[in-house]
Amino acid sequence: MTTETTRGKRILLAAPRGYCAGVDRAVDAVEQALAHYGAPIYVRKEIVHNKYVVEALSRRGAIFVEETDEVPEGARVVFSAHGVSPAVHEQAAARGLDTIDATCPLVTKVHKQAVRFARDDYDIILVGHTGHEEVEGTQGEAPEHIQVVNGPHEVDQVQVRDPERVVWISQTTLSVDETMETVRLLRERFPALSDPPGEDICYATQNRQAAVKVIAPQVDLMIVVGSGNSSNSVRLKEVALDAGAGASHRVDFASEIDPAWLEGVRTVGVTSGASVPEILVREVIERLAEHGFEDVEEVRTATERITFSLPKNLRADLRGAAGEQGHDRRQPVADHTC
Ligand code: SF4
């Protein structure tokens, strides 16, 4: 029912939002492994950075560990979407673990760039966040050649052997604008700085940020659904504020919405990070409806059709078990470069 106090209250719902192809594949890999091999299935690190997803998979028999030495010898372990360094692969092999590598193909693409530039003896500047699993994995591909730069404020500290032989690459989930500023400053210091062959910030990160930029100037408040350790979710909150949202809050669950945030608010923007299942967004919308925000308008700025096939060895086992009639429900696709 529309009343004087609810009239004009509306939600602008960003699209694309939520699951990207890499997250969908990684979560599916754990689900299919549980169904096919049975519990427990060990997972190194959070399969994707989302509390709800990790708790749901734990209830079904996934055991999340920090390192492979916590996995019993000979057991099966899934590597997360964020990727692992070669050292982790070696540790797993030394323990005789059966591995399912759910590293997103777009992260693998960055790993390959690192290997190639290291082989050509470049100094590689990895723009990314120290301590993030993806950055640790990429850095581990060529630790002698890679230095991490967290943002524009660290550009002054970069030291290279030969300013004519420097290249930058990046984490896949950064703020596009901040990364471009970091690169601009790097290029001021090293005019011969080479670019990576393709964009490292992935299509999903870029699309979610672009949608938020369109909505943000129109909203008093932007709610970003996503976990605190999800890089791309945290970036969405920052992008919303930079693009003109009156305020922005990140929540894991609808129950975290503080009614005080909604005082005097007429338009709320809603989006979600690339590791967030849609059910959590639906719950946020229901919660906002309780506060009079019943009018929901989706603002779509791109349509995504990318899917990734399951990890090869899992796909082969599923096919083998299904025999003649069996198919992985995903069709293998070529690696995408976005
Ligand atoms: S955010 Fe991008 S790089 Fe990360 S899993 Fe999703 S598609 Fe892959």
Are 29 and 98 part of one and the same domain?
yes
Number of structural domains in the chain: 3
Pairing of strands 123-127, 146-149: parallel
The answer to whether position 45 is within a domain reads: yes
The answer to whether 134 is a known catalytic residue is yes
- Rounded to the nearest whole angstrom, what is the distance from the C-alpha of residue 74 to the centroid of ligand 1? 29
Q: Is 58 annotated as a binding residue?
A: no
Q: How far is 118 from 199, CA to CA, in rounded Å?
A: 18
The answer to whether position 240 is within a domain reads: yes
Are 14 and 69 part of one and the same domain?
no
Token code pair at residue 92: 């797993």
Q: Is 49 annotated as a binding residue?
A: yes
For the chain, give the percent of residues with pLDDT over 70: 93
Element (H, E) at 166: strand 166-170
Are 249 and 178 part of one and the same domain?
no
Q: What are the tens digits of pLDDT across the range 320-329? A: 988 745 455 5
The answer to whether position 329 is within a domain reads: no
User: What pLDDT was estimated at residue 323?
Assistant: 78
Burial class (CB in 10 A: 0-12, 13-18, 19+), 305: exposed
Q: How far is 210 from 207, CA to CA, in rounded Å?
A: 5
Are 268 and 239 part of one and the same domain?
yes
For residue 328, which of 337, 336, 311, 164 has the smallest C-alpha distance? Answer: 311
Q: Which residue has tokens 């930079």?
A: 242
Are 152 and 115 part of one and the same domain?
yes
The answer to whether position 276 is within a domain reads: yes
Q: What are the tens digits of pLDDT across the range 263-313? A: 999 999 999 999 999 999 999 999 999 999 999 999 999 999 999 999 999
Are 268 and 208 part of one and the same domain?
yes
Are 125 and 52 part of one and the same domain?
no
Are 93 and 33 part of one and the same domain?
yes
Are 185 and 246 part of one and the same domain?
no
CATH of the domain at 155: 3.40.1010.20
Is the CB of 78 inside a 6 Å radius of any atom of ligand 1?
A: no
Per the structure, the complete domain to which residue 265 belongs is given by: 10-18+203-300
- Rounded to the nearest whole angstrom, what is the distance from the C-alpha of residue 5 to the centroid of ligand 1? 41
Is the CB of 81 inside a 6 Å radius of any atom of ligand 1?
A: yes
Q: What are the tens digits of pLDDT across the range 24-77? A: 999 999 999 999 999 999 999 999 999 999 999 999 999 999 999 999 999 999
Are 276 and 295 part of one and the same domain?
yes
CATH of the domain at 78: 3.40.50.11270
Is the CB of 318 inside a 6 Å radius of any atom of ligand 1?
A: no
The answer to whether position 270 is within a domain reads: yes
Token code pair at residue 222: 């932007």
